[in-house]
Structure 1
Amino acid sequence: MKSRYLLGICALLFSGFVHATELTAVTEMLPPLNYEEQGVVTGYSTELLQAVLQTAGLSAPISILPWARAYQTAQTQPNTIIYSIVRTAEREPLFDWIGPISKRQIFLFKLRARKDVEVSTLSDARKYRIGAVREMAATQQLIKQGFNPEESLDLAPTDESNVKKLFLNRVDLIVALDWSAYFLAKQNGHSVTELEPVLLLDNSHAYYFGLNKQSDAALTGKLNQAFEQVRASGQMDKLKSKYVRD
């Protein structure tokens, strides 16, 4: 009887500890996965995270930050979730991973009207000025492949900045997700037909939620269990049909 009483107390304390954990989430403007609309953070990944948190009996305020700042925050502050983040070999030991939440296709885009910009291989792209987001996985990959931030890469805090620079002819190419580039083109008053994907850079990775490695150990298991419940319920497919056109 006494042991059962103690087990019950421990369970209550554990439950209360998990619920009392101050969990926060950081993200960037990357529509339609995560973005702000009329002061509210929304998008496919945001709604998915909210469903996972609700299933887990947790909550977290969400802040939209420039990606480099969000990335630094998630690495240095325990109990912080970052999304939508690409799971790469370099990042593998930095976070606990929940997902995958979405597939990812990264292209080099140019303006269709720029007949002077001709790219069929990655080597061809070295001749041009390329807009890329700081700390973006695709940017890091280009740097590893010899693209110099001081010469060929024009680094910006957001994808929207790069799309605007492309239409102003301040860069010749941009690195972007396909549906994100099209979404942002429309948001800025342009037709998607004005964009031309010229080279697929990567479709080998996926997006995840990343949890700071120094977080409460109970959170990772709780969030992964909740994620699997949400996926099994069909909510992910409903959200994809709402936001993402594969």
Structure 2
Amino acid sequence: MAIMAWRQFLSAVALVLCAAQAARAGDLLGVTEDVPPFSYLEGGRFVGLANEVLDRIADQSGLRLQRSIQPFARGLKTVGEVPNSFLYVVVRTPAREPHYRWVGPLDDCDVAVMTLRSSGLDFSPTTPDARALRIGVIKGSPAGRMVREAGMPERSVYLTPGSETSTRMLYAGHLDMIAGLSLPYQHQATRLGLDASQLVVAHVLQKGYGCYFAFNPQVNEAVFKRFAEAFETLRASGELKALRDRATQPRAPGR
């Protein structure tokens, strides 16, 4: 218990430090998870489509952007407690709409259920041998709710900490399907040296909500405006589309 309390104290101190740093004029704290091709670490650097966009926004706006990579559920908590912060990338669902200020979209970001081509499984409450499907969803993401609303029983929903874990579990046979954004799962498979061509969409849960930068609603108005205007400049110039087209081309592992 003492160790747990100490860890909680250190976590709280770290959050306060982040808040103090991000509160400086012109600063924003961006919190992301490992979700290629949108955002991930490579050689200690933040890379991927969303981070390339952020680099250009920083250049155009003069804003100083700090970044932190955290599991999605922890990132939700961090952004909820740090006013000058944003979460990326986030699917803009109706349930989330009033809780954030939005800039985007980066991509359409369909939410889908995927399986391996070799499984032969359909998106139905049970498999051919009458057992419940095992569907991996990232903790804190809307995919879990959507899977349940699509008719899947609670026993079918397996919470995972991120897309890498879900992908590994699917290919290892510990899951029958995974639910979320299809493009990141394809890139995770490629990055892990797995055959991404085996991933197929079994069911589309929600089409076209879009992936955005989701800001704490208490963000400084002037800072938010500078960020949003810089993003709009990228979109209007066609540079955002060029970055997206390049990011959606999977790279072989180690390249």
| 3-state SS in 2 of match to 1:20 | coil
Equivalence for 2:61 = 56
Which ranges of structure 1 fall in alignment gaps of 5 or more residues? 1-17
Select which of 71, 77, 100 maps to 2:105: 100
Deviations 1:179-208 (A, max 9, x none): 222211121222123222211222131011
The amino acid that maps onto 1:139 is G
Alignment of 1:164-179 (within 5 A): 164-179=168-183
The two structures, once aligned, show a CA RMSD in angstroms of: 2.2
Counterpart CA distance in 1 for 2:139 and 2:205 is: 17
Counterpart CA distance in 1 for 2:187 and 2:134 is: 22
Residues 1:154 and 2:158 are matched in the alignment: yes
Contact 1:166 / 1:174 at 8 angstroms: preserved in 2? yes
Equivalence for 1:7 = none
Contact 2:57 / 2:227 at 8 angstroms: preserved in 1? yes
Counterpart CA distance in 2 for 1:148 and 1:123 is: 7
> Which aligned segments of 4 or more residues in structure 1 are displaced greater than 6 angstroms?
none
Cα separation, partners in 2 of 1:145 and 1:109, compared to 1, 3 Å:
closer
Q: What is the Cα deviation at residue 55 of structure 1?
A: 1.3
Equivalence for 1:46 = 51
Which ranges of structure 2 fall in alignment gaps of 5 or more residues? 1-22, 251-255
Equivalence for 1:81 = 86
Cα separation, partners in 2 of 1:82 and 1:27, compared to 1, 3 Å:
same
| 3-state SS in 1 of match to 2:119 | coil
Deviations 1:80-131 (A, max 9, x none): 011111111111111111111211122212222223x333xx5568930101
Counterpart CA distance in 1 for 2:198 and 2:231 is: 38
Bigger RCO (CA 8 Å, 6+ sep): 1
| 3-state SS in 1 of match to 2:186 | helix
Percent of residue pairs identical: 29
Q: What is the Cα deviation at residue 145 of structure 1?
A: 4.7
Contact 2:125 / 2:151 at 8 angstroms: preserved in 1? no
Counterpart CA distance in 1 for 2:173 and 2:28 is: 42
Contact 1:84 / 1:207 at 8 angstroms: preserved in 2? yes
Counterpart CA distance in 1 for 2:239 and 2:246 is: 11
TM-score, normalised relative to structure 1: 0.84
Deviations 1:31-50 (A, max 9, x none): 00111111111100111122
Cα separation, partners in 2 of 1:227 and 1:134, compared to 1, 3 Å:
same
The amino acid that maps onto 1:197 is V
Bigger drift between 26-35 and 181-190 goes to 181-190
Counterpart CA distance in 2 for 1:221 and 1:54 is: 15
Equivalence for 2:15 = none
Residues 1:207 and 2:211 are matched in the alignment: yes
Counterpart CA distance in 1 for 2:232 and 2:183 is: 26
Residues 1:138 and 2:143 are matched in the alignment: yes
Counterpart CA distance in 2 for 1:46 and 1:147 is: 35
Contact 2:33 / 2:40 at 8 angstroms: preserved in 1? yes
The amino acid that maps onto 2:168 is K
The amino acid that maps onto 1:105 is D
Deviations 1:204-244 (A, max 9, x none): 31011111111112222222111111212222022112102
